Amino acid sequence: MDPFAGGGSIPLEALRLGCETHAVEYNPVAVLILKCTLEYPQKYGRVTRIKERVGMVEVERQANRLVEDVKRWGRWVSEEARKEIGVYYPEDEDGSIPVGYIWARTVPCQNPSCGVEIPLMRQYWLANKDKKKIFLYPYAYGKQVEFKIVGDGYEPMPNDFDPSKGTVSKAFVVCPACGNVIDDKTTRKLFQTGRTGERMIAVVLRKKNSDGKHYRLATERDLEVFRRAEEQLQVKRQKLMEEWGIDPVPDEMVPSPCHDVDRLPMYGMYKWGDVFNSRQKLALITFTEKVRQAYKKMIEEGYDEEYAKAVMSYLGLGVNRLADYNSSLTVWAVAGEFIAHTFGRQALPMVWDYFELNPWSNSTGDWNSAIDWILDVLSHLSQILPVELEEEKG
């Protein structure tokens, strides 16, 4: 028995060894993890004969019903969400699929004679591999900082530019137009007083049936689509607030002082919902709604309530994984051209330039990836043989 089981690593190993295992926890997040790791696979994850209708004929086959249902309803959630908000992640005219969007937070230059909007970027690399070097090249154009994409397959690389040096380091900001330096205290004050913004810089794309990534600068069309998503968020948020009786966007205050998360309120993110941009919020509350609707449809189809809760729990973990990869605290990992998720470590550091993913990119961090990871683990956990308990005598 583990009376402080947490995520369940000790009881999981005990279960794998065939021991009678008891896990105790009071943290509701840990309890959910324990149920999905230890209880549901043992209770519902056995391979059995299931009946299904193929056309007009009912057939039987052997399958893990729990895995099959998580896969089925995960697909249903994806399709229903895409019907509603897929329009906010449009393909390019050539059929390229957006993997996601690179954003930079912005601050105004404090030099009165300059005043440009400074994009806060740790570095300018888009891809930094042995055989693929691509980066953004900034240049001043009037009162605006503009960009070119240079490198392999794009414009020629300038000889005197180091893409590893961006505009911000440890909250000290250097204006790329005039060279003025903003100190860390002023930078934080700008965030806390709402004098900052954000700007979509570039779009990461892939061709259909290809894993290779290519890049282009954000266009007015990209910005218009995002503005429409912002408008839809307000409509959707109000609708769900009336249905659920709570704000679907987390409105709890970020605890402060708290070393693990104090960077958030330090930079103006006072509520948990502030960690996401508008389209990210729209995506996450829509997927959450579809998971809740999936549970209702399961009950309508005659599913046992407890079993339907088990399936919905895994779908809820899918939303959790999507949130981990779709916040404004993620970064584009240039060495591998993939998204680095929010929880890279225990604390939540400030991220100046972040990556917003497309939930249907069929690439790094999207909904299908989330469900596939869950299915892989669930399939593995279902192989643990059930423990046969002897009846007590005497």
How far apart are alpha carbons 283 and 380 in whole angstroms? Answer: 30
pLDDT, position 59: 66
> Is residue 234 one of the residues assigned to a domain?
yes
pLDDT at 143: 82
The whole domain housing 270 covers 88-378
Tokens of 316: 């809820």
Nearest to 76 by CA among 329, 364, 293: 293
pLDDT of residue 210: 81
Q: What is the per-residue pLDDT across 67-112, written as a single tens digit (0 to 9) for each?
A: 999 999 999 999 999 999 999 999 999 999 999 999 999 999 999 9
HEC states along the chain? CECCCCCCHHHHHHHHCCCCCCECCCCHHHHHHHHHHHHHHHHHCCEEEEEEEECCEEEEEEEEHHHHHHHHHHHHHHHHHHHHHHHHCCCCCCCCEEEEEEEEEEEECCCCCCCCEEEECCCCEEEEECCEEEEEEEEEECCEEEEEEEECCCECCCCCCCCCCCCEECCEEECCCCCCEECHHHHHHHHHCCCCEEEEEEEEEECCCCCCEEEEECCHHHHHHHHHHHHHHHHHHHHHHHHHCCCCCCCCECCCCCCCCCHHHHCCCCEHHHHCCHHHHHHHHHHHHHHHHHHHHHHHCCCCHHHHHHHHHHHHHHHHHHHHHCCCCCEEECCCCEEECCCCCCCCCCCCEEEEECCCCCCCCCHHHHHHHHHHHHHHHCCCCCCCCCCCCC
What is residue 54's predicted lDDT score, i.e. its pLDDT? 64
Give domain status of residue 282, yes or no: yes
The residues facing 213 across adjacent strands are: 206
Q: What is the pLDDT of residue 289?
A: 98
Residue 39 belongs to some domain of the structure: no
Single out the residue of 387, 320, 360, 315 nearest to residue 70, CA to CA.
315
Residue 24 lies in a domain: no
Task: Answer whether the bond into residue 108 is a cis peptide, omega within 30°.
Answer: no
Count of domains observed in the chain: 1
In a domain, 232, yes or no: yes
Whether 20 is in a domain gets the answer no
Query: 364 vs 15, 48, 91, 146, CA distance in Å?
Result: 32, 33, 17, 28
125-129 β-sheet, strand order: 125-129, 132-141, 144-151
Q: Is the pTM of this model over 0.85?
A: yes
In a domain, 326, yes or no: yes
Tens of pLDDT along 104-141? 999 999 999 998 999 999 999 999 999 999 999 999 88
Q: What integer pLDDT is reported at residue 48 of this predicted model? A: 76
Looking at residue 60, its pLDDT comes to: 67
Q: Of 170, 164, 188, 178, which is closest to residue 118 (Cα–Cα)?
A: 178
Regions in the chain scoring below 50 on pLDDT: 389-394
Q: Could you tell me if residue 140 is inside a domain? A: yes
Look up tokens 């300018």; give the residue.
124
